Amino acid sequence: MSFGDPNNPYGQQPQQPPQDGNPYGQPQGQPPYGQPQGQPGYGYPQGQQAPQGIPPQGYGYPQQGAAYQQAPLGYSGGMPPFAGWIQRVGATIIDGLIVGVPYAVVAIIAAAAGKGGAAVIFGLLGFLVVVGLMLWLLYQEGTTGQTPGKKAVGIKVLRESDGQVIGFGMAFVRRLAHFLDSIACYIGWLWPLWDSKKQTFADKVCSTVVVKSL
């Protein structure tokens, strides 16, 4: 009685070696395990580059179409040049005329009216004109960074930290803080002449800068 091949006592068929460099027996032409058929792997297909202006795909890169957050506007990120002292003086003169001329007209009328009730009415009207125009200038400065005078000379007021407009409330506080510029022989108004950021004392207290509007 023969028991077959002594080297293969159980009659098992020898396994055929893999062909075409496919050691795991995967059918030829199918994508690797876990990858959907017909879809490319991570990144771009081999031999192709990402289109110009689009970052590469895959590990370590943001996906195509992802939004890039822009850094806050600062000195290193593009803050416009600081405004010169002469420009600031010019803006102050123009804004002063916007408030002063209407008040002067009303005051002249009140003086011509004598000491009667008409003089009182025109005096009150002049006060309301001044307050209304000053509030309007502060609103413009806080919401746009520019009063008409600043717009005329090409400058604006911004927050030092991020380059954004300061808002009406801070514009009002900054106007009050100009008191600090006047108490020391008006030296605060001259401080921008030699200050590295061209700030008055009010600017330093309120963390604001005056820059050229580009």
| 3-class secondary structure per residue, the chain | CCCCCCCCCCCCCCCCCCCCCCCCCCCCCCCCCCCCCCCCCCCCCCCCCCCCCCCCCCCCCCCCCCCCCCCCCCCCCCCCCECCHHHHHHHHHHHHHHHHHHHHHHHHHHHHCCCCHHHHHHHHHHHHHHHHHHHHHHHHHHHHCCCHHHHHHCEEEEECCCCCCCHHHHHHHHHHHCHHHHHCCCHHHHHHHCCCCCCCHHHHHHCEEEEECC
Q: Is residue 67 part of a domain?
A: no
Q: Is residue 132 part of a domain?
A: yes
pLDDT tens by residue, 66-88: 332 333 444 445 688 999 999 99
* Dist CA 85 CA 208 (whole Å): 15
* Dist CA 201 CA 187 (whole Å): 9
pTM higher than the cut 0.75 = no
pLDDT tens by residue, 93-107: 999 999 999 999 998
Residue with tokens 């030296």: 187
pLDDT tens by residue, 118-175: 888 888 999 999 999 999 999 999 999 999 999 999 999 999 999 999 999 999 999 9
Q: Is residue 43 part of a domain?
A: no
pLDDT at 31: 53
Q: Is residue 193 part of a domain?
A: yes
Residue 33 has pLDDT above 60, yes or no: no
Residue 24 has pLDDT above 60, yes or no: no
Residue 1 has pLDDT above 80, yes or no: no
Q: Is residue 72 part of a domain?
A: no
Domain enclosing residue 150, as ranges: 85-212
Q: What are phi and psi of 22, to 5 degrees?
A: -115, 85
Domain count, the chain: 1
